[in-house]
Every structure is written in C-alpha cells, then in structure tokens.
Amino acid sequence: MRKLDEKTIVVASHNRGKIAEIAALIAPLGFTASSAAELNFAVPDETGTTFEENAAIKARASAKASGKPALADDSGLCVDALGGDPGVYTADWAETADGSRDMPMAMRKVHDALVAVGATTAERRTARFVCVLCLAWPDGHTETFRGEVEGSIVWPPRGDKGHGYDPLFQPTGHQRTFGEMEADEKASGGPGDGGALSHRARAFKLFVETGLSH
C-alpha cells in the first residue's frame, strides 16, 4: 500500500451529502478535505459497469486536475429481487427530465419494481448498500476499499436524516432505517456491527486500517 503523506485530499464529488459525510470521516484522522465541486472540476462520465470502475474514473479525474490525492466514492443500492438493480445506476433512477434528482420518485421506483415482481414481504425485499472508495494519486496509481451492509427495503420510507435512499433501507439487526439514524450512529454502529454500520463507514474502516496504517 502506498503511504498517503499529503494532508489535503480532494473529495471527487459534486454531491453535497457525500462531500460532507466524507469530510467528517477524514477530519479526525488529520486530513483536510476540498472537493471537486468547490474547485469547479468537470463531472467525468461514469462509463464503468462496476462500482470500482466508476470510483476510479472519478478519483483519477480529480487527482489529475488538482495535482493532489483524490478520494472518490461510488455507491449504490442493490436489491436482490431486482437482479441487483439499481446498482451502479442508483443515481440514474433519481434523475428527472430537467437533470435534477428526485429522491421520493426514485424510492417509489424501487418499491413499484418490487411490487411488479411480487416481492411484497420483507423476506423478498433483501438488499444491500455498497460503497467503494478509490484513492487516486496524480500519477494514476489507485487503491480501492469496499464496504457493504445487508438489509431490506421498507415501504413507506421512514426518516428525514441522511440522504439518497436512506429512508428506504433498514439494516439487518436494526429496527430503524438509515433515514432515522444520526450520522454518528451510522458511522459507528452498535454491537455486532464491527465498529461501523453504514457501507460508507465500513469502506472507510478498511481505508483507515489498510490504507493509512503505515
């Protein structure tokens, strides 16, 4: 693993929720975050078919443009009864005709798709959130860290915390959705969560343990 000496990391994202969450996770480690959004970097086309490929595309683009290490997150909701959809196209399911994102509409799409295939019980609504972090250097070197959390899809959505599909997802072993949990609870989890509950927190745990343990 390559040692990360630079203390400023570019968060390769234009998503305010992700930028804030990543910045909060790296701050206690002594790292300062800037972002592709505040640096006015163009959004690269995510042409990959896996989370790893898309995370690398974003991280490399910001590392090259900034001359600093860049950290990208590619994440999504994978629903078993839908063959793993929306998967890498999770964000696309929320896109509207004017280019904005409508999360209530996206969550309704997931629910309606499950109803269409007859997945109306909790046992048929198993799903997982996946997060892949990619750390890229300006010379093109990359390292990736993958985190997953198992759970199920609930309807109607519950909670107004977090972002994205959080109100739709109830992690296994918990009675509340991510949308009902505070950010620090998602980051740390409880007994049986291994010190990290959310997919992003689990990917960061690997990032810290393997990417920063020099």
Domain boundaries in the chain? 8-211
Number of C-beta neighbours around residue 5 at 10 A: 7
pLDDT digit string, tens, across residues 71-85: 999 999 999 999 999
Q: How many residues does the chain have?
A: 214
Residue of 74, 85, 166, 193 marked catalytic: 74
Is 45 assigned a catalytic role?
no
What's the CATH number for 8-211? 3.90.950.10
Task: Pull the structure tokens for residue 14.
Answer: 């234009």
How confident is the model over 101-117, as pLDDT tens digits?
899 999 999 999 999 99
The reported pTM is 0.89
Report how far residue 141's alpha carbon sits from residue 101's, in angstroms, rounded to the nearest whole number: 32
pLDDT digits (tens, 9 = 90+) for 163-181: 899 999 999 999 999 999 9
The answer to whether the beta carbons of residues 171 and 159 sit under 8 Å apart is no
